[in-house]
Chain A
């Protein structure tokens, strides 16, 4: 891997929740345009890892550098990183008191200082990309889970991030809505966006990922291309995980 083109550089990362060691000596380098799927059993630290990248969680040891900004207590750096990084949550976290369009334009208007009309036309552009422009005036509470998650993706994309983080984006959805969200994510991958996706959707992983990272108990156990990962897993832990997740 070419070190110079790394957009995220994580080295010797350690994090504890109280006495519980959630992330243990994580080293990870992600280059521009790379699509990474992180999987592993629950409690393995995969969500915590991507939440460290935009500082929703604070790490205690090691370095995280995103687009040349190292994450420290310096609020300016944190702001700079959050400008480049968009995030989609398992539970959507749309703002329920604002309609879909206002959800998308809020940060454009207040953070990017964009005029309202310009922000709205940009937001409509992205709502069209996630295929729900007709819902722009509705409130999140009136939409289905799949529609809400697509709005959440549009809201992040409006900020024109260079990196997108997805934290189990389909885990809270009914089975028939998973596909509409995954379709949007596949489209996004085709545009060359750098993506880190925590998910159990192995179909998506094999179709889109450049690299699959398998985590367990706070460690990166194994990382490989999808073909190698699925067909030729190296560690016993990975084999066990795959046999369980693919058997049903």
Chain B
């Protein structure tokens, strides 16, 4: 409400007063959140002290005293961070061993990701009908760009690496694990015993086994069952395993949401003649998924970080690249913290964005008190 409105209602209604000045705005926020009671005040003081101890040295190390140029670790002579490797190696951190003359294909598929995501995540964009189709076909476009074929030079998946590998495996898992999780969650609540048993067995078996075990199964054991001459790409196997692992968790998260929907919603949907699938799609799932957003995003973030396990099939994702540089004779002993810090920063940016978006989505979907 604007000030004008307030003064207007003041005249009309002498009993209506604005809240006391020290309870609103920045001062009100500080009083309430930082200095409310002696425990709060003490914690505030301790926190400020810890930050004062930690931040300036970190800042000095990472930026002020850091070395930014040089062609090997020996040239990093200050006691600060050694960032000289960035110049030569940042491409490997991002693209792995992808052929440099084809970096544009990775870049293009990342740039195309932005509109594709935008059309899925945000409403009210222009040309939304075409946009949705584009978003749906994005995985195919992007696979074509990255792998080649149809005129482009073919790049095999063993060339994939760096953060791009984490993004590819993570995105594929995210895109696939949600629908598979929904189907498993509905299956687990199905009245048909066969479907229910299958879903329960799938979820419990996958959830009961460590992911790393599943990955070893995918890499070593699956080959024994494939007919001779047939081989399934290693990266594809790993992506499948990460996806079904995340799907099992996703199914349980969504089942939690489904159970929170009152029975009356099913009945009302039945009574107006929506059959099972339409009731689910139009009435039950929109509500259940909304409730499950924190859990779903939690699973997404976990899945994304699990992509670092591709190291076991000998692919060098961003952590692999960090280790590679740490053991390089030119840089040995100089870049241990720096490389991990950079990898951590990359992951943090993506995971924190997902988390913020989910909070924004929850607010947007809240219809209780608009």
- Are B369 and A96 touching (Cβ within 8 A)? no
Given contacts A97-B286, A97-B287, A139 and B270 within 8 Å (CB-CB)? no
Q: Which residue of A lies closest to B263 (CB)?
A: A93
Does A186 interact with chain B (Cβ within 8 Å)? Answer: no
B351 to chain A, nearest CB (A): 28
With a CB–CB cut-off of 8 A, which chain B residues contact A111? 272-274, 278
Q: Which residue of A lies closest to B278 (CB)?
A: A110
Q: How far is the CA of A111 from the CA of B283 in the complex (A)?
A: 13
Q: How far is the CA of A115 from the CA of B368 in the complex (A)?
A: 28
Q: How far is the CA of A243 from the CA of B283 in the complex (A)?
A: 43
- Are B272 and A107 touching (Cβ within 8 A)? yes
Proximity string of chain B (268-293) to chain A, C-beta cutoff 8 Å, 1 when within and 0 when not? 11111111001000110011001000
- Are A83 and B273 touching (Cβ within 8 A)? yes
Q: How far is the CA of A98 from the CA of B198 in the complex (A)?
A: 34
- Are B282 and A106 touching (Cβ within 8 A)? yes
- Would you call the interface of chain B mostly helix, strand, loop, or mixed? helix
Given contacts A141-B368, A159-B273, A110 and B282 within 8 Å (CB-CB)? yes
| Tally of A-B Cβ pairs under 8 angstroms | 74
**CB-contact partner of A56 in B267, B282, B290, under 8 A:** B267
Choose, from A11-19, A60-68, A84-92, A234-242, the stretch at the interface. A84-92
Does B365 interact with chain A (Cβ within 8 Å)? Answer: yes
With a CB–CB cut-off of 8 A, which chain B residues contact A82? 270-273
With a CB–CB cut-off of 8 A, which chain A residues contact B22? none
Does A155 interact with chain B (Cβ within 8 Å)? Answer: yes
With a CB–CB cut-off of 8 A, which chain A residues contact B275? 75, 79
Q: Which residue of A lies closest to B368 (CB)?
A: A141
Does A7 interact with chain B (Cβ within 8 Å)? Answer: no
Does A230 interact with chain B (Cβ within 8 Å)? Answer: no
Does A170 interact with chain B (Cβ within 8 Å)? Answer: no
B280 to chain A, nearest CB (A): 12
Does A54 interact with chain B (Cβ within 8 Å)? Answer: yes
Q: Which residue of B lies closest to A104 (CB)?
A: B272
Does A95 interact with chain B (Cβ within 8 Å)? Answer: yes
**CB-contact partner of A54 in B271, B278, B368, under 8 A:** B271
Does A94 interact with chain B (Cβ within 8 Å)? Answer: yes
- Are B273 and A89 touching (Cβ within 8 A)? no
- Are A79 and B367 touching (Cβ within 8 A)? no
- Are A79 and B273 touching (Cβ within 8 A)? yes
Does B370 interact with chain A (Cβ within 8 Å)? Answer: yes
Does B20 interact with chain A (Cβ within 8 Å)? Answer: no
**CB-contact partner of B271 in A75, A86, A110, under 8 A:** A86
Does B327 interact with chain A (Cβ within 8 Å)? Answer: no
With a CB–CB cut-off of 8 A, which chain B residues contact A156? 271-272
With a CB–CB cut-off of 8 A, which chain A residues contact B287? 95-97
Which residues in chain B, 231-268, are within 8 Å of chain A measured between CB atoms? Answer: 262, 264-265, 267-268
Q: How far is the CA of A82 from the CA of B268 in the complex (A)?
A: 11
Q: How far is the CA of A94 from the CA of B272 in the complex (A)?
A: 11
Given contacts A89-B267, A93-B267, A142 and B369 within 8 Å (CB-CB)? yes
Q: How far is the CA of A77 from the CA of B63 in the complex (A)?
A: 74
Q: How far is the CA of A179 from the CA of B61 in the complex (A)?
A: 74
- Are B264 and A139 touching (Cβ within 8 A)? no
With a CB–CB cut-off of 8 A, which chain B residues contact A97? 286-287, 290, 365, 367
Most chain A CB atoms below 10 A, which of B272, B282, B286: B272
Q: Which residue of B lies closest to A91 (CB)?
A: B264
With a CB–CB cut-off of 8 A, which chain B residues contact A86? 271-272
Q: How far is the CA of A107 from the CA of B369 in the complex (A)?
A: 25
Most chain B CB atoms below 10 A, which of A54, A79, A107, A155: A107
Q: Which residue of B lies closest to A51 (CB)?
A: B267
Q: How far is the CA of A75 from the CA of B269 in the complex (A)?
A: 15
Q: Which residue of B lies closest to A90 (CB)?
A: B264
Proximity string of chain A (65-81) to chain B, C-beta cutoff 8 Å, 1 when within and 0 when not? 00000000001000100
With a CB–CB cut-off of 8 A, which chain B residues contact A142? 369-370
Q: Which residue of A lies closest to B272 (CB)?
A: A107
B283 to chain A, nearest CB (A): 5
- Are A94 and B370 touching (Cβ within 8 A)? no
Proximity string of chain B (131-142) to chain A, C-beta cutoff 8 Å, 1 when within and 0 when not? 000000000000
- Are B290 and A89 touching (Cβ within 8 A)? no
Q: Which residue of B lies closest to A106 (CB)?
A: B282
Q: How far is the CA of A89 from the CA of B266 in the complex (A)?
A: 12
Proximity string of chain A (108-127) to chain B, C-beta cutoff 8 Å, 1 when within and 0 when not? 00110000000000000000
**CB-contact partner of B272 in A55, A99, A139, A155, under 8 A:** A155
Most chain A CB atoms below 10 A, which of B269, B271, B275: B271
Q: How far is the CA of A75 from the CA of B270 in the complex (A)?
A: 12
Q: How far is the CA of A139 from the CA of B265 in the complex (A)?
A: 15
With a CB–CB cut-off of 8 A, which chain B residues contact A93? 262, 264-265, 267-268
Given contacts A56-B270, A89-B267, A141 and B278 within 8 Å (CB-CB)? no
- Name 9 A/B residue pairs within 8 A (Cβ), A-sorted: A87-B268, A96-B368, A97-B286, A99-B367, A107-B273, A111-B274, A141-B368, A155-B272, A159-B272
Q: Which residues on B are within 8 Å of A, measured CB to CB?
A: 262, 264-265, 267-275, 278, 282-283, 286-287, 290, 365, 367-370
Which 10 pairs of residues, A with B, have the shortest CB-CB distance?
Answer: A93-B268, A107-B272, A93-B264, A139-B367, A87-B271, A141-B368, A82-B273, A111-B273, A97-B286, A97-B287
